[in-house]
Amino acid sequence: LMAQAQQQGARLLVLPEGVLARDITDPDLVLKAAQPLDGPFLTQMLAASRENTLTTMMTVHVPTPDGRALNVLVAMRNGEIIARYDKLHLYDAFAMQESRNVTAGNEVPPLVEVDGMKVGLMTCYDIRFPELARRL
């Protein structure tokens, strides 16, 4: 997908939240699939990003010492993680109870520069909180 986006002239590729593991019928899948940032999935993605000039953004679930996971948005370019943030607002509504398996982050996400434009990082439910966008 990175190569295809690069060939079509893209400078930024944003992959969906939970690209590695998301299944509403198995809320524990995020724990089963959680990997450290130096785990095999992200290592392969970073290797692929060395082959192009794209900035790629995606989320991964990273295990925490308390047995849950962080929902981490990473931005990568040239094989390196250039920014990251941990999802701040967990979705606990209706049948979803994200906080059962996911630990909330506590830092405002950074800005990433892509071809001279500043891009703010926010994922999923975080976009519903305008104070976060104002801080970016």
Structural contact between residues 79 and 49, judged by C-beta atoms closer than 8 angstroms: yes
From the list 17, 32, 113, 118, the catalytic residue is 17
From the list 87, 107, 113, 131, the catalytic residue is 87
Distance CA(111)–CA(134), nearest Å, equals 12
Annotated active-site residue 87? The verdict is: yes
* Secondary structure (3-state) at 132: helix
* Neighbouring C-beta atoms of residue 125, cutoff 10 Å: 18
Distance CA(108)–CA(87), nearest Å, equals 9
Annotated active-site residue 17? The verdict is: yes
From the list 32, 51, 107, 124, the catalytic residue is 124
Structural contact between residues 41 and 35, judged by C-beta atoms closer than 8 angstroms: yes
Annotated active-site residue 80? The verdict is: no
Residues involved in catalysis: 17, 87, 124
